Structure 1
Amino acid sequence: MNTARDLAIVALETAPGRPVEQGDLSLALAGAEVVDLIEAQALALDGDRILPSAQAPTGDRLLDEAASSLVRLEPYESVEDWLWRRGRGLSSAYVDDLERVGLTTRARGRRIPLRTGRTELVDSDARRRAEERWTAGEPVLVALATAAGIRDEPAEAREDLDDDAVSTVLAAVGGAVQELEAVRQRKEIEDAAFDNVWRGL
């Protein structure tokens, strides 16, 4: 199961009607990679610390890249530190990768070159699998999508999560997204104050 790719597909699917902050999505994708690597037994969690296992190919380029970039020295890396380090620009990397493997195309508009068109999903098995998980309300995918701002989480979704490691990852993603939003709000306040100073001169 590739939760990170499914999350990227869901984000593209819902983007026209519900724009998503790229930073929030990147943090959620980094969390999804941890979930995928736990499932692939490429890592385990000790509390909130990521303990890498012997590296084995997952068959996915970005997941293999994630596994190879795990910190392999004690005291190892916390999930939160991983989210900030790995998450930088990760949403763009997933959009590019979906296009690279033929799961998306650029919509061609009148007199608009192909590369400047909007990214659109093509019909594929990967898209159908992601849509099935999304429609079924798969708890981990829903929780990550909620953190990324793709949808509001139903009250019962969290109750279905009984895996401590996954719950730790989801809590870290939620905390990181809140921290990023706080940074945005501070910047808006600072920018507004700066503008007011200039207007007063």
Structure 2
Amino acid sequence: MTSRVILISPASNPALRRTRFDDGASLDAAGAARAASAAGSLPAADRVHVSPTVRCRETAAALGLAGPSGPAAELAAWDMGRWRGRTLDEVTAAEPAAVALWLADPGAAPHGGESVRDLCARVARWLADCGGQDGRTLAVVEPEVVRAVVVGVLGAPEAAFWRVDVPPLAATELSGRSGRWNLRLGRTLGTPGAADAP
């Protein structure tokens, strides 16, 4: 049995461009148009999951994806506690020591939300469930979820989380069996060869 997973990062919105911790903002006009232009570029999926964030739901709708096949609680956005809705620059100016700790220690959550370690563990549980399912799973998820998957699949140290860039509207593909995954890193949707079946 081979499991295939395609992770799609959301199209752009003002929060992504300004490095703002998710504030519930909608896609901007350019992001919505890019997502709509990529509709039909994804292969058929046996299961579709969508993070509960506004930008992920709007991206999935613009891509023409059918409703979710199951709950996506483990694919929720990173819980940033009291930093939610603020930019990284704002938080750094107000709490420089807390930001430094957060960036240096994967177990730290000075904002009162989830640490990098907690996020990676949550996402790993979801991916383990996917590994037991035959066929293709497609999920529209926040960039930090993609980063956590990449770190986990590669067996990289949690500190590597900060070294993974995930562009808007990109496909990251996994295929594997028995908990061993192969990784094809994100290609922008709507370009030749994007999200082809592995």
Same-fold status (TM-score > 0.5): no
Higher-Rg member (1/2):
1
User: TM bucket by the smaller chain?
Assistant: under 0.3
Specify which structure has the higher proportion of helix.
1
Specify which structure has the higher proportion of strand.
2
Q: TM-score, normalised by structure 2?
A: 0.26
Q: TM-score, normalised by structure 1?
A: 0.25
Q: Which has the higher contact order (CA 8 A, sep 6+)?
A: 2
